[in-house]
Amino acid sequence: MKTIRVALAAAACGVLAACSGMSLDPNSLVQSGSQAVQAASLTDSDVRTLSDKSCAQLDSENQIAPAGSPYTKRLNKIASQLGDNINGVPVNYKVYITKDVNAWAMANGCMRVYSGLMDMMTDDEVRGVVGHEMGHVALGHTKKAMQVAYAASAVRSVASSAGGITGALSASQLGDFSEKLINAQFSQTQESAADDYSFDIQKKKGQDPSGLVTAFQKLAKLDGGKSSMLSSHPASAARAQHIQQRIASNK
């Protein structure tokens, strides 16, 4: 029985890539297996609760553009072209005032766009990026990313000892989890699917999706910065080409 438990834990460890460089100690492997089970068993309610907590934490740590800001007005206009919900979940749009180039969304409809991204992009390009982030939520990618972040953060241990996700979490624990979540890397398949979602929703709403092409072309020229989009795969240039092909074929 012990051998089976160790084997199962080792498999879980490999899936989460949590044990790289570690010796195969039975106790640590079993613990990793337990963490994987806890993460995989997160309910939709758990995901919404963690999203609410994480989004609130990040909002408290960043400068949010006020309602009358040109950034907020721009984003509200762009949002009206895409819709106010993702699979029935209302979207809450806000802009973070920062030079960083990024945007992200969570399963509870929390959508944040960085002013650094808006400064370098047209409205059509921002719309393409926002549609892409909506795609990650609509297609369930953000839930999977949260499961991985949960398994790798201190939040999981605290939640377990407190008897549930709603247990008391320190700012540092929640901050660690939030950072892992917004910096999560999606797979090539997930990124491509989110690109196609952005293309499709813009076409459905009667919008021109070509901004997604030029947005990726601009991202391809950047050589760094705090953006999960910059280190994603496939490369931005290839993603731009894929959308160009879809525009040309009108499919």
Count other Cβ atoms within 10 Å, centred on residue 34.
16
Verify whether residue 191 is a known catalytic residue: no
Count other Cβ atoms within 10 Å, centred on residue 38.
17
Question: Could you give the count of Cα atoms lying within 13 Å of 51 in the half-sphere of its Cβ?
Answer: 26
The rounded distance, in Å, linking the Cα atoms of 249 and 226 is: 34
Length of the chain: 251
Could you say which of 61, 125, 133, 191 is catalytic?
133
Count other Cβ atoms within 10 Å, centred on residue 4.
8
Sign of CA dihedral 222, 17, 176, 129: positive
Active-site annotation, residues: 133
